[in-house]
Amino acid sequence: MQIFGVDIGGSGIKGAPVDLDRGDLAQDRHKVLTPHPATPDTVADKVKEVIDHFEWSGPVGVTFPGVITDGTVRTAANVDKSWVGIHIEDLLRERLGEDCPVTALNDADAAGVAEMSFGAGRGRTGTVILLTFGTGVGSGLFTDGRLVANTELGHLELNGHDAEKRASSKAKEDHDLSWSHWARRVQKYLAHVEMLFSPELFVIGGGVSRKSDKFLPLIEGIRAEIVPAQLQNNAGIVGAAMRAGERHGAP
């Protein structure tokens, strides 16, 4: 069965039909640039553009970089604040048409859902935490394979700062930090998360996970196993489609 997945990010909006049996894209994904300002209206137009590219009709899963409860955006740390309070599922369904019911979830939760079924977390029980390091730091917390949604661990306080301002890969770029300097910050952050949750496994995602050999070997003193994400760029698209599939009767 195929369901469409869309990943709404700070720089790009990308999507593709997903083969839910394989947990992979059924066709090459299509990407458009995120409009600026990224308001609900302008983003909805771009999501439609991505879906129209495939002439898709059917359920759509969408990721969003903020808290989503009951289809409504509750926080917008790195996107336009006008999203807060918007029912993103209704907004997009109105724009896409009745044939495209929309299911939305947090971007890191979506990536985690995909990794737990088809990637680095497959078959893992106990507490597993996926962390995405990008513009912000996103988190997906799983206990025996079940998602605890909207954990927002990127906003824990670290040395008096919002953790993502210190440990995101954007912080690395903005402050021109070396890999070892940045790895020390990530290590401190992981130690803090470990102190609170004692996970068995950390899965490290986000664009930077492609370069995990540059920083994961530098991280010391963490009890949990630490592995890079496997689905990388497509995890959000796949996880969003899986969630929409669950809601719309996919096995």
Interface residues with ligand BGC (CB under 6 A) are 65-67, 75, 77-78, 106-108, 132, 134, 136, 138, 152, 154, 164
Tokens of 202: 């950390």
- CA torsion angle 185 189 190 193 (round to 10): 180
Helices 235-247 and 107-118 sit at what angle, rounded to 10 degrees? 90
Q: For ligand BGC, which is the closer residue by CB, 59 or 206?
A: 206
Q: Report which of 44, 37, 47 is spatially closest to residue 78, judged by C-alpha positions.
A: 37
- In angstroms, give the least distance from the CB of 38 to ligand BGC: 13
| Three-state SS at 55 | coil
What interhelical angle do 40-53 and 88-96 show, nearest 10? Answer: 50
In whole angstroms, the minimum distance from the beta carbon of 19 to ligand BGC comes to 25
44 or 73: CB nearest ligand BGC? 73
Q: How many CB atoms lie within 10 A of CB 87?
A: 17
Please say which residue, 100 or 237, places its beta carbon nearer to ligand BGC: 237
DSSP string, 19-43: ETTTTEESS--EEEEPPSS--HHHH
Query: Nearest approach, Cβ of 111 to ligand BGC (angstroms)?
Result: 9
Q: How far is the CB of 106 from ligand BGC (least distance, A)?
A: 5
- Count of other CB atoms within 10 angstroms of residue 166: 20
Residue closer to ligand BGC, measured from CB, 34 or 132: 132
* Min CB(142)–ligand BGC separation in Å: 15
- Closer residue to ligand BGC (CB): 17 or 140: 140
Q: Which residue lies nearer to ligand BGC by CB, 34 or 75?
A: 75
Residue number of the CB atom closest to ligand BGC? 136
Question: Considering the complex, what minimum distance in angstroms separates the CB of residue 105 from ligand BGC?
Answer: 10
